[in-house]
């Protein structure tokens, strides 16, 4: 197996929470498409705390809702062990309580 590929997103405004969607897709025949994901939060973009983590395999998709006011800032970290991923984030708008 080749070494894992890692990706960390730029910090984004996450004051009101949102829904993280991660879908694994295989990039070559016979690949498992395994992806580890972590949603992290911070108040000031210097110290990050894990809010949620998990993994998905080829063809799987997971949606992770995050409560309102979890953290001011958020970021996504991915570790691709055997494939690629499609990631999206829907942030809740202000006043969506």
Q: What is the pLDDT of residue 47?
A: 94
pTM of the model: 0.81
Give the domain ranges of the chain. Answer: 5-91
CATH superfamily for 5-91 is: TM1070-like (2.60.290.11)
Least confident of 14-18, 42-46, 67-71, 83-87: 67-71
pLDDT, tens digit, 9 for 90 and up, residues 67-88: 766 789 999 999 987 778 888 9
And the tokens for 17?
């929470």
DSSP code string of 7-67: EEPPPEE-TT-EEEEEEEE-SSTT----EEEEEEEESSSSS-EEEEEEEE-TT-EEEEEE-
Confidence class for position 1, pLDDT limits 50, 70, 90: very low
Q: How far is it, in rounded angstroms, from Cα 91 to Cα 13?
A: 8
φ/ψ of 28, rounded to 5, equals -150, 160
Residue with token string 């799987």: 60
């Amino acid at each position: 197996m080749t070494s894992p590929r890692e990706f960390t997103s730029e910090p984004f405004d996450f004051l009101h929470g949102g829904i993280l969607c991660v879908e694994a897709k295989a990039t070559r025949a016979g690949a498992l498409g395994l992806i580890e994901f972590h949603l992290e939060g911070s108040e000031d973009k210097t110290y990050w705390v894990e809010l949620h983590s998990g993994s998905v395999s080829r063809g799987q998709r997971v949606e992770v809702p995050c409560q309102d006011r979890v953290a001011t800032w958020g970021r996504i970290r991915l570790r691709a062990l055997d494939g690629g991923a499609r990631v999206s984030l829907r942030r809740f708008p202000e006043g969506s309580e």
